[in-house]
Chain A
Amino acid sequence: MNVSLLFQQYGNSLVYALGTALLATLVAVPTSYAMARWDSVWMKMLFWCCVVLLFLPFQVTMLPEYVLLEFLHLLDTRLAILIPGMVSPLPILILWMGNKQVPGEFEDAFCLESGSLLSYFRFVLLPNLSGVIAAAFAICFLLNWNLVDPALIFLEDKGLWPLSLTLLEQEGTARLYYGILDMVPVVLLLGVVMVVMRKRSMK
């Protein structure tokens, strides 16, 4: 068991999962707000694009992504996972649903006080959407923690592989130890989510 490689790959898993979840949620917040509030043909087209993209298996988009990453010379780097993961349809659609629940009157009322959209986000929208944003972040993190397909295709250097791929190559007890290590952040995150949800329901 190569311990330094193990730590590096554990770090890779964290970078990919946390990085993708953070970036995807960050990009999804204003995009979903525009999708929910801006009545235009383009937003409708974007919405349906996101819906179709949500269902597509990785194998359909793997060739276009490979061509793009090769063009940008990003293959076999960490960005090969982070860049495509940055614009993920799942958090956009989850946050779109959340935005639809927020009444439009909040915007009108806020317009009387200030003209800055960033203040609106900070004082009204994000506090209202905090649960949904947290859910989208958690779901993105958990889905990317188990990354196998893109990492297998886009990353050659074993030093860049996430833990989920190395598990494939282990046998017997090593596999068990790696597996337990792999589960630790997942269990922690689920525990935190359950505690927060219980606190909220007690309020």
Chain B
Amino acid sequence: MRGKSGKLTFRQQMKLMALPGILGVIFLYILPGCALFYYAAINNVFQKRFVGLGNLLDILGNSYFLLALKNTVLLLVAALLMVLLLGLLLVLPDAFFGWRMTGVAVVLLVPLFMPSVLSVELLRLVGGGLPPRWQLLTLFVWRNTGVVLLFLSVGLAKVEKDMLEAARLDGANRWQLFVYMQFPMLTLYIGVGAVFLVMQFFGIFREAYLLFGTSFPPDEVYLLQHYMHNHFLRLNYPYLAAAAILFTAFLAGTIWGVRLLQSAMRHQRGKMLGQAVI
């Protein structure tokens, strides 16, 4: 319905201007994504015989897929924990003594924006003798701690100083201040950091490719990304598509699960607050 003067209303203009983005997402990601379902349902690109869920069952029984899955999950959890713990450790001086860690954060940001080849070369110089898993983990931790430290510093700066002063007057020591007051406020920023780290970990194929020089790295660092990349190069589109669909479904499921958990926790907190008021 047009506005009084016959021109488009705000909302209509907004929908019109958002059209390129919306159409872009649909035509660049969602519609081509349907090709995944087509390729996952055929046996190979030459015969194009329908096999339904056959490819999915095939890859779930494939030893390389299972190895890749195991390594991906293991390395993801290890990398996440290592970076978050290191970030928290580095933010402790800020929490305890108020020393701004911006200098350290900037120094640690450099490896993230360095060309990947350079950072891989530097790692090879320093840690070339380490086992492959530790090489990859060290590279990941070195590249990503800076951003997590930045997030945590920002989160810490948002904690109100008056509250901390009041608690200190009540006799809390620095450690108690951190554990009971500053750390709970940091949980949101730890969450943001975790999201960033998961994003970075899924893009780790580039670093692994540069580090090991091949898309067939040692068994212990063979990830799902390697599995999918190799199938693409061999024109095994059906297996690639089945793995991609599985990956997306698992990711979407995890995000949905986290959402449900969040709303359940919020509901719980709301109930507790309601009881406290009464």
Contacts and interface: CB of A to CB of B under 8 A. Distances in A.
A142 interface: yes
Given A56-B202, A115-B5, A167-B117, A67 B21 contact: no
Instruction: Give the secondary structure class of B's interface.
Output: helix
A30 B25 contact: no
B24 A60 contact: no
Contacts of B252: 52
B205 A64 contact: no
Nearest to B3: A115
**What is the interface residue range for chain B against chain A?**
35 or more
B9 interface: yes
**Which 8 A-B residue pairings sit nearest by Cβ, starting from the closest?**
A31-B21, A87-B24, A64-B32, A34-B18, A30-B17, A117-B13, A59-B228, A57-B202
A155 to B, nearest CB: 15
Nearest to B118: A179
Interface string A74-95: 0000000001101101001000
Contacts of B229: 59, 62
A57 B203 contact: yes
A34 B15 contact: yes
A67 to B, nearest CB: 5
B193 to A, nearest CB: 14
A195 interface: no
Contacts of B35: 63-64, 67-68
Contacts of A179: 115, 117-118, 121
Interface in A29-74: 30-35, 37-38, 46, 48-68
Contact of B10 (A60, A111, A153): A111
